Amino acid sequence: MGEKITLSVIKADIGGYVGHAAMHPELIAVAEEILTEAKKSGVIIDFYVGCCGDDLALLMTHKKGSDNEEIHKLAWETFEKATEVSKKLKLYGAGQDLLVDAFSGNLKGMGPGYAEMEFEERKSEPILVFLADKTEPGAWNLPLYKMFADPFNTAGLVIDPSMHDGFLFEVHDLIEHKKVTFKTPEEIYDMLVFIGAPGRFAIKYVFRKSDGEVAAATSTQRLNLLAGRYVGKDDPVLIVRCQSGFPAVGEALEPFSFPHTVAGFMRGSHHGPLMPVSFKDSTPSRFDGPPRVVCLGFQLAEGNLVGPRDMFDDPAFDNARKLANDVTDYLRRHGPFEPHRLPLEEMEYTTLPQVMEKLKDRFSEE
Ligand code: F6R
Ligand code: MG
Ligand code: MG
């Protein structure tokens, strides 16, 4: 095609149904209506409105690049319109992720999370979009490491000459707002020091080392750090390009056969397994969890999103779901004890300051 396509995946929690468990179909309908108009008027090439749990995700293709004002404004206005419906239905937490009153410039710091990538569409362009609920951006670190740096997961790293050089990982420090790029495989030990701490360091992009082609992009917004108060976990998204020099679709899905432990779950303050589920099962209801991930598969055709296929709607992931349920049973029995409950400094909200204040006169030197 010669001209770059941009895929923007922009998401927000603008109201849950019931509580924080799922998406009301009317919100999807409003978003589809607005994006259909935007497609007709040529602002976007194509779109799909997806969801995971209580998060609405707008998948849009266009030629305007990342961080584009018009595209971000379209997403913001779509969320605003859907919030009106959410308020009418008195859905829970209506408009909660829209942290500011008015849009200005781009979505940075405004609440919604987004992952975007620009590339020239290949002869065939299989793309996976992962959407998670009840967890944080660093939840993608382990699966991305496995997809792009672990030969026990991705056979192509060993036997496909176009992947054999390895990949570059751009890692962001979400607290200090710094970034660093690691070369793999040669720097995996250094990289693991950081990405093994997913509450602070999150992989933002993966690029192919041989030609710099973008392979994966994530959303890394930390809502509570932005808002300075508890607004729920960030519920991140991830885009992965597959096949012909990138991980095969099956290699990109394989890491999710292990439901690794992530932070989030009830009140954004517990550890739990990330359960891969079909679209219809992306409704975290037990203890507001366990955290979920869905995967939407598309073939791109001149920017059109052919799909989605419900990639985790496959009995091959039944064992992962069973293990996630067993791990949930095990962790739940810890009740308010760590490591089920997050350490004090990582909890999204806590009564500690109030309890400390109440008891301050009762503490004495030991
Ligand atoms: C987790 C989440 C929920 C809520 C919980 C309490 O990210 O959103 O687990 O934290 O349902 O919600 P509130 O405080 O609104 O009653
Ligand atoms: Mg919510
Ligand atoms: Mg959510």
Residues marked as catalytic: 13, 230, 233
- Structure tokens, 122: 């290949």
In whole angstroms, give the CA distance from residue 46 to residue 60.
6
Q: What end-to-end distance do the CA atoms of the chain give, in Å?
A: 73
CB 48 within 8 A of CB 59: yes
Ligand 1 contact, 272 CB (< 6 A): no
- Residue 163 confidence (pLDDT): 96
Q: Which of 235, 204, 286 is nearest to 132 (CA)?
A: 235
- Residue 360 confidence (pLDDT): 86
DSSP state of 81: H
Q: How far is the CA of 210 from the centre of ligand 3 (A)?
A: 37
Ligand 1 contact, 270 CB (< 6 A): no
Q: Give the CA dihedral 193, 195, 196, 197, nearest 10 degrees.
A: 100
Q: How far is the CA of 266 from the centre of ligand 1 (A)?
A: 6
- Tell how strand 292-301 and strand 304-310 pair up: antiparallel
Q: How far is the CA of 238 from the centre of ligand 2 (A)?
A: 19
Could you list the pLDDT tens digit for every one of the 366 residues in the chain?
468 999 999 999 999 999 999 999 999 999 999 999 999 999 999 999 999 999 999 999 999 999 999 999 999 999 999 999 999 999 999 999 998 888 988 999 899 999 999 999 999 999 999 999 999 999 999 999 999 999 999 999 999 999 999 999 999 999 899 999 999 999 999 999 999 999 999 999 999 999 999 999 999 988 766 666 666 678 999 999 999 999 999 999 999 999 999 999 999 999 999 999 999 999 999 999 999 999 999 999 999 999 999 999 999 999 999 999 999 999 999 999 999 999 887 766 666 667 778 888 999 999
Name residues whose C-beta falls within 8 Å of residue 353's C-beta, 6 or more positions apart in sequence: none
Ligand 1 contact, 20 CB (< 6 A): yes
Output the DSSP codes for 342-359.
PPGGG-SS-SHHHHHHHH
Residue recorded with tokens 């992931």: 317
Residue having the nearest C-alpha atom to atom 2 of ligand 1: 267
Q: Taking phi first (over 0 means left), then psi (-120 to 50 degrees means alpha), and beta for anything else, what does residue 207 get?
A: beta
Q: Give the CA dihedral 121, 64, 117, 281, nearest 10 degrees.
A: -100
CB burial of residue 331 (10 Å; 0-12, 13-18, 19+):
buried
Q: Which ligand is nearest to the CA of 113?
A: 3
- Structure tokens, 142: 């382990």
Q: Which ligand is nearest to the CA of 11?
A: 3
In whole angstroms, give the CA distance from residue 217 to residue 129.
10
In whole angstroms, give the CA distance from residue 253 to residue 159.
18
- Residue 222 confidence (pLDDT): 80
CB 209 within 8 A of CB 162: no
Q: Taking phi first (over 0 means left), then psi (-120 to 50 degrees means alpha), and beta for anything else, what does residue 291 get?
A: beta
- Residue 349 confidence (pLDDT): 62
Residue having the nearest C-alpha atom to atom 3 of ligand 1: 267
